Amino acid sequence: MTTEVNLTTDGPVARVKLSGEKGIQLLGAATRERLHVVLGEIEQLAEINVVVFESEGRTFIAGADINELRSLNSETGFENSQQGQALMNRVAALSATTIAAIHAACAGGGTELALACDMRIAAEGAVIGLPETRIGVLPGWGGTVRATRLLGSAAARRIILTGELVPAATALQVGLVDQVVAEEEFRAVIDERIKLVASRGPHARAASKKLISQFEGPDAEAQFLTESKAFAECYPTGEPEVGMSAFLAKVDADWASLHNS
């Protein structure tokens, strides 16, 4: 499935819109490359100081392309994790204030992108989570690091170890999002947040964002590397093949089969 990435600008505001087939947005390799291009364009536009990531349809972002993940091994899995982290780190490093407008289901890589944003606003009907353990891997694009840093270890354990997609209200309680709004008000609230943020000093916001990142701790680079290694180490266990095959067949994964063969 192809997911397009389109950039529009209006004064200081850039909107990055993902559009996938049947309203399902996936972060496949081509889409991630296109996002890099769009981020590069934003970085060159000095007037941009607010960036909104949004989409329409059945999902905000459903996650990675499962067929791509299924084809990985320990070596290419490490590379995939590093590449995904590089994309999310680039989002996080934008000097502009970033907003994830989560109107519908947000999972896996979509949640990792949202966690890389400064603000996350969800519609009431949205569900959000990091379901990678359901398919035999872990959140390898910065998800384990950012979830722990932003949510705390208890909430990170719940979200990652269960692999559940939680309702927006629960996401608000654990800090996955900072605001939940009614479906009919969602777009208006996003516009209001954009207007509010854009009314604040661009330099002051950028400087504050940089300081907050520094105060979160200096060891993030080492943590991301550790995450990539752990993601890669999932593949020799056989769990990704079992989990992803079950996911595609829409059945429960038979983890016990790994020990009975």
| Tens digit of each residue's pLDDT, the chain (261 residues) | 789 999 999 999 999 999 999 999 999 999 999 999 999 999 999 999 999 999 999 999 999 999 999 999 999 999 999 999 999 999 999 999 999 999 999 999 999 999 999 999 999 999 999 999 999 999 999 999 999 999 999 999 999 999 999 999 999 999 999 999 999 999 999 999 999 999 999 999 999 999 998 888 778 899 999 999 999 999 999 999 999 999 999 999 999 999 775
| E strand spans, 36-170 | 50-55, 59-61, 97-102, 105-107, 119-123, 127-129, 166-167
What pTM did the predictor assign?
0.96
**Catalytic choice (4, 79, 132, 233):** 132
Q: What is the residue whose two structure tokens read 């519609």?
A: 123
CA distances to 132, 134, 162, 229, 235 from 255, rounded to whole Å, are 14, 10, 15, 22, 14
Question: Is there a catalytic annotation at residue 132?
Answer: yes
Task: For residue 130, give the nearest of 150, 144, 116, 151 by alpha carbon.
Answer: 144
Predicted confidence at residue 30, as pLDDT, reads: 96
Predicted confidence at residue 152, as pLDDT, reads: 94
Q: Using alpha carbons only, give the angle 124, 98, 219 rounded to the nearest 5 degrees.
A: 110
CA distance linking residue 132 with residue 245, whole number of Å = 13
Predicted confidence at residue 216, as pLDDT, reads: 81
Predicted confidence at residue 261, as pLDDT, reads: 56
**CATH numbers and ranges of domains, the chain:** 3-184 (3.90.226.10)
Predicted confidence at residue 211, as pLDDT, reads: 93
**Catalytic choice (41, 56, 68, 112):** 112
197 neighbors 97 (Cβ within 8 angstroms): yes
Predicted confidence at residue 238, as pLDDT, reads: 96
Using only C-alpha atoms, what is the Rg of the chain?
18
Predicted confidence at residue 105, as pLDDT, reads: 98
Task: For residue 31, give the nearest of 45, 19, 41 by alpha carbon.
Answer: 19
Predicted confidence at residue 28, as pLDDT, reads: 96
Predicted confidence at residue 2, as pLDDT, reads: 84
How far is residue 175 CA from its own chain's centroid?
Answer: 14
